[in-house]
A and B are shown apart, each in its own frame.
Chain A
Amino acid sequence: MVIKIRFERRVSPPKYLSILYVIISILSAFFVSGFIFKAYGINPILAYRIIFTHAYGSPSGIYETIVKAIPLILCSVGLSLAFKAEMWNIGAEGQLLLGAIMATGLALFTPTPPSIIVPVMFIGGFMAGALWAVIPAILKVLLNVNEVITTMMMNYIAIELVRYLIYGPWRGSKEWGYPITDEIPDAAKLICIPGTRIHIPTLAIAISTAFIVYLIIMRTTLGYEIRVAGENPEAARYAGISYLKISILSMIISGGLAGIAGVGEIAGIHYRLRYPESISMGYGFTSIIVAWLGRLNPISIIIASIFFGGLLVGGYVMKMILGLPVAVVYVFNGITLMFILVGGVLSQYKIKLRG
């Protein structure tokens, strides 16, 4: 008997199916990544058990997962807005670092009164991240320069800028020559939930931003314009929607939110500027997947951020316990992204088997 498989296009995939396919995509990614563990002589099931028990299985694990989820939520909620407007911002990593630089600079080198230093850092971080994103946006809008390349280049420039500062003018006087800045004053340090590293102000900003952006996209004219401009630029032009305004605005918000994530990492976790790869465990890049996994929906993005936050925690634990490089997480990220793409296509079709 020959079984024929036929694909029929759906008009619009039902919601439960989209979710189902996301879950299948992640499971498939786990399955394929398992071969990498196998190649290292490590039982994949054991590895996954380690990841999940450490990331979600204990209070301290969950706290760390939330710590990692904070920058992911901020970056990917911003990205969802930019991606909706078809602005391919892959520069969240650099925008985050600019926020970190700004926070450190304001806390260490300005006579800002201690009572207002925290809000000043957040505003400054937003502006620095937004500046880093708006340069590619302007080049894109005015000269049609591909923003994928420019935002990526801005990442590398930001990384070198951090290195320049910590090796050069900002190197701490009390740090025995290590390439780090001095510690920021206590007034600039964010309040944490006692016994954890969860910095409350950034978490609050992240969650409320997700809801605000959700409302902006769903309920406001601006959100409507962003969606139309992204989906059909031609139609947007006829409808009198300013492509210039939409592109630049979405990039400002996107970059600014990444900048806020950077402020959180400095004022909530590290208390000083240090190696760029210590400040950000690739949050900016991971948030691209998070945004995609959350289907560019800010509420789903919160869930996706917690999931990927856990994976980052798990990746670190695997390094400590199994001696695996943290890069395993990036492999998993890449494979997940591929399967999400495939799942997105499959969910648009009905599969029919015929005997």
Chain B
Amino acid sequence: MQSYIEALLYSAIRAGTPLLIATIGEIYAERSGVMNLGVEGMMIMGAVTGYMVTYMFNDPWIGILAAIIVGGLISLIHAFLSITLRVNQVVSGLSLTMLGLGLSSIMGKKYVGISLPVTIIPIKIPILSEIPIIGPSLFSQDPIVYISMILAIIMWIILFKTSFGMKIRAVGENPAAADSAGINVFMIRYICVLIGGMLSGLAGAYLSESYTPAWIENLTAGIGWIVIGLTIFSLWNPLRALWGSYFFGGIRALQFRLQPLGISPNILAMLPYASTIIVLSIGAKETIRKRIGAPSALGKPYIREEKY
């Protein structure tokens, strides 16, 4: 029984890690007022890039670096369209997702069925990994898992305890007021969208290089959309995203553990998507009750009063 729980927790955290990384990124973008529905596209581009570059250079970390760069570059398209040109953010994000899904399957065609020569090796943290239950599940993971946990904490601190974080939140709540207070609204939004893209790229690379690890067309299979749901569920808070992601990771882990019971794998495959809808609906009630809402300027382009 203990080993069963350990195994379940272990896979919940592994499955939750790409969700967590990308959700932190989307939280930053949305906190600054920009909704980026291109997460799925940026993520899958990160996944294919990470896989290809790792294969070419025989080093998973160069692959991850490349994925971060590519994710960031793609997000800049959305930043330019939605911040500078002020186009409809929903449609712009969708175009990013289409581009990413198409481009990745072309780029990765040669890599389908080819396995990586190297992967990211798990590190057992001394002493901590000896603790029953949480030791094997929490402290015997690969470095990206640890990095993502630390990232959640650091990004929470930046967002809520630093002046930079305060500027981000101000820009997302009331850009006009932030602007008149001397904050560069456009710059902050560009940075936040870029952070979102880079983290989506990283999350994608984790999927292809460590979690799966393989490249297949449409590898992300809707994870990017679950991330957007998680961002709302997390109430735009990186620490809430931490356990939210592991909860969803747990559902994914459960999906594979229920298979021996004879339930159709296709029905089980619906679980993550159905639970996203259910959790968002339940969460929405709480949001209404507590009166916590999205950043007020979310999705609204900022138009500076033009001077002539």
Contact = CB atoms under 8 A, between A and B. Distances in A.
Nearest to B229: A149
Interface in B260-293: 264, 266-267, 269-270, 273-274, 276-277, 280-281, 284-285, 287-288
Given A285-B98, A292-B91, A145 B85 contact: no
B232 A168 contact: no
B94 interface: yes
Interface in A128-151: 135-136, 139, 143-146, 148-150
B129 to A, nearest CB: 36
Q: Which of A157, A167, A344 is most buried by chain B, counting CB atoms within 10 A of its CB?
A: A157
Contacts of A157: 270, 273-274
Interface stretch (A190-198, A219-227, A247-255, A322-330): A322-330
B270 A156 contact: yes
Contacts of A136: 277
A337 interface: yes
Contacts of A303: none
B86 A337 contact: no
B105 A327 contact: yes
Given A149-B225, A327-B106, A333-B98, A342 B81 contact: yes
A149 B264 contact: no
A234 interface: no
B102 A153 contact: no
Contacts of B273: 153-154, 156-157, 160
Contacts of A144: 284, 287-288
B43 to A, nearest CB: 14
B285 A149 contact: no
Interface of B is mostly: helix
B210 interface: no
A7 to B, nearest CB: 10
Interface residues of A, number: 46
B131 interface: no
A330 B266 contact: no
B222 A156 contact: yes
B5 interface: no
A338 B96 CA distance: 8
18 contacts: A145-B284, A149-B280, A153-B226, A156-B221, A156-B222, A161-B266, A164-B266, A168-B266, A289-B98, A328-B106, A331-B103, A334-B97, A334-B100, A341-B85, A341-B95, A342-B85, A345-B86, A345-B87
Top 7 closest A-B pairs, CB basis? A334-B99, A330-B102, A334-B98, A331-B102, A337-B95, A164-B266, A143-B284
Interface of B: 37, 41, 77, 81, 85-88, 90-92, 94-103, 105-106, 109, 217, 221-222, 225-226, 228-229, 232, 264, 266-267, 269-270, 273-274, 276-277, 280-281, 284-285, 287-288
